[in-house]
Amino acid sequence: MKQPKTIKFNGDTYTLKVDYEIDEKTGIGIGPLYERKPAAEGYLFMPDLAFLLGQTTVPTFMHPMKQKPESPATRSSRRRRN
């Protein structure tokens, strides 16, 4: 399902940073991951599964994901999945 570029949740704005992608080295899918404004340094966020599948129109939770400097979300060797 196509994810929105921006999500407003609990007074914060989340902007799409990483769409759903497959890491070419590991074959593992990641995303979609959103960046929060105001910023939460070192974290990206993923909406709950019901929202990702289109069963709800607003997320009920934004799951924080701690990012490491060499995490798949920060690498440039990725391929997009459409």
6 phi, psi to nearest 5 deg: -135, 140
**pLDDT of 23:** 83
Give just the sign of the alpha carbon dihedral 9, 52, 70, 82. negative
**Cβ partners under 8 Å of residue 46, min gap 6:** 31, 32, 33, 34, 52, 62, 63, 65
pLDDT in tens, the chain (82 residues): 678 999 999 999 999 998 888 888 899 888 899 999 988 889 999 999 999 888 998 899 999 999 877 655 555 444 444 4
**pLDDT of 78:** 46
The structure's pTM equals: 0.73
